Amino acid sequence: MLLPFLLVGSCGTAPKRISGTDLPTIPRVTLSSSEVTASKSSIATDGMFVFTGPVYDALERLRWISRAYVKGGWTPERPEGTPSKATQVFSKAARKLDLKRSVTITAIASRTTGTVEVELHSEPLASE
């Protein structure tokens, strides 16, 4: 009886990713648009991903999302906005690619047609 519980419990530890990327997916909304516009060495470097569905509080949704991104090695900036619309930026160096990758996530609250937009952008790492 414990075996199915253990199998389900162990599967939940791996965070889900947006298909074709290393970006964590957004829980409780549906991916409605996905476009990788540039990649380097099979890693997405630029793109836009839009999720739709119920978003009751944009700031609270960003708190959920932030945990997954921090766990994935992304450095968060402080979220800005209101419960109806909020934005947060995350960054991560891709040293093997000599790039700094940034993700800007904007959540717009609505009980039925809320959106979460994930914009990925990369730029060369500054020489030190």
The values of phi and psi at residue 82, to 5°, are -130, 175
The residue among 23, 27, 63 whose CA lies nearest residue 43 is 23
pTM confidence score: 0.85
pLDDT at 77: 98
Confidence of residue 27 (pLDDT cuts 50, 70, 90): confident
Minimum mean pLDDT among 4-8, 16-20, 23-27, 47-51: which range? Answer: 4-8
How far lies 64's CA from each of 87, 100, 123, in Å?
13, 23, 27
The residue among 16, 37, 14, 39 whose CA lies nearest residue 26 is 16
Contacts of 64 (CB under 8 A, 6+ apart): 27
All structural domains of the chain, each given as residue ranges with its CATH number in brackets, are 23-124 (3.30.310)
The values of phi and psi at residue 123, to 5°, are -145, 160
Q: Does the pLDDT at position 12 exceed 60?
A: no
Dihedral over Cα of 120, 123, 124, 128: its sign: negative
